[in-house]
Amino acid sequence: MTAFRLLLVAALLALPFWVAKMAPVHACSCAALSVADVVATTDLIVVGTAGDVQLADPLPADATVSFTDIQWAISVQEYVKGSGPDRLDVRSKTYVQVVPGKGIQVNPGGDPTCGYAPDVALNYLFFLSRRDDGLYTTGGCAGNQPITADTEASVSAYLDKIREVLREPVALPATGSGPSHNGAPPIVLLAGASALAGVALVANAAFALRRRG
């Protein structure tokens, strides 16, 4: 019995190691956002084709599966939101797997942490956010959509909604119904009046004390 318990403990201790060596399982879950929210939280929206996908940094020598940065480029066909050059450099995170005899495969078996790797054979509607280093990034929950014969109609309809949101005027804060002095907000005028009243009270009190003296 003691030997069995020792084997059980050893197996449990080794479990995280074997789980780490397994290929990831697709379990990414994204929050549903309105078109207006997507447009507001995205720096650039473009239609284009991805290419030049490569590792941003070398993998450890003994790595078989790794969640790491990849770098790739977008050949822009259209800027839907924002503007810029014909080529955009992008970094995203995804799973890569080292396959003996085949080299490195990007994003094998899905991505449980919502990383992203594009298919270089397709056109996409991309949603990008600007990084501090000037590159752009995106992810599995950004809303990127491949444009194929099967999806072209739905992507076109979604683009129409995006353009409609972008055409909407920005709402300005409502102005007060009553007049204001030189455009100053009423609360500022009230504060100024209170301050003048306080000064008058102090002056009157000082004058009264002076007369008593």
pLDDT range class, residue 9, cuts 50, 70, 90 = very low
Q: How would CATH label the architecture of 18-167?
A: Beta Barrel (2.40)
Q: Residue 102 pLDDT > 50, yes or no?
A: yes
63-85 pLDDT, tens digit each: 777 888 899 999 999 999 999 99
Q: What is the pLDDT of residue 59?
A: 81
Rounded CA-CA distance 118/87 in Å is 15
Q: What is the pLDDT of residue 122?
A: 87
Region 86-99: mean pLDDT is 89
Q: What is the pLDDT of residue 100?
A: 73
Q: What is the pLDDT of residue 31?
A: 86
111-158 pLDDT, tens digit each: 666 889 898 878 999 999 999 998 999 998 999 999 999 999 999 999
Q: Residue 209 pLDDT > 90, yes or no?
A: no
